Structure 1
Amino acid sequence: MPDRRVLIAIVDDDEDVREAIRGLIRAMGFVAEAFSSAEEFLRFSKMNQTDCLIADVNMPGMSGLDLCRRLREHGNAIPTILITAYPTEEVRTFALAAGVTKFLTKPFMESELMEGCVSP
Structure 2
Amino acid sequence: MHGKILLLDSKPPVRGATARHLTAAGFTVLTARTDAQARSLLDTNLFDAVLIDHPFGRPGMEEGLRFARDLRLQDSHVPILLMTALPLDEVRHSAWSSGITKLLPKPQLMPVLILHLSALIPAAANEDQPQPIPMR
Determine the structure 1 residue equivalent to 2:31: 34
Distance 2:95 2:114 in 1: 18
Amino acid at match of 1:117: L
Asked if 1:18 corresponds to 2:15, the answer is: yes
Q: Is the 8 A contact 2:81 2:102 kept in 1?
A: yes
Q: Distance in 2 between matches of 1:116 and 1:97?
A: 20
Identity of aligned residues (%): 27
**Alpha-carbon separation, structure 2, partners of 1:100 and 1:50:** 15
Identify the structure with bigger relative contact order (alpha carbons < 8 Å, sequence gap 6+).
2
Bigger drift between 103-112 and 22-31 goes to 103-112
Match of 1:46 in 2: 44
Cα deviation for residue 64 of structure 1 reads: 1.1
TM-superposed CA distance for 1:26, in Å, is: 0.4
Instruction: Return closer, same or farther for 1:102/1:5 CA change in 2, 3 Å cut-off.
Output: closer
Q: Which runs of 4+ in 1 moved over 4 A?
A: none
State the TM-score, normalizing by the size of structure 1: 0.82
Unaligned runs of 5+ in 1: none
- Cα distance 1:116–1:67, how it changes in 2: closer, same or farther (>3 A)? farther
The letter of the residue matching 1:42 is: R
The number of residue pairs the alignment matches comes to 116
Instruction: Return 5+ residue gaps in structure 2 as ranges.
Output: 125-136
Root mean square deviation, CA, Å: 2.1
CA drift of 1:117 comes to: 2.5
**How does the TM-score come out when normalised to structure 2?**
0.74
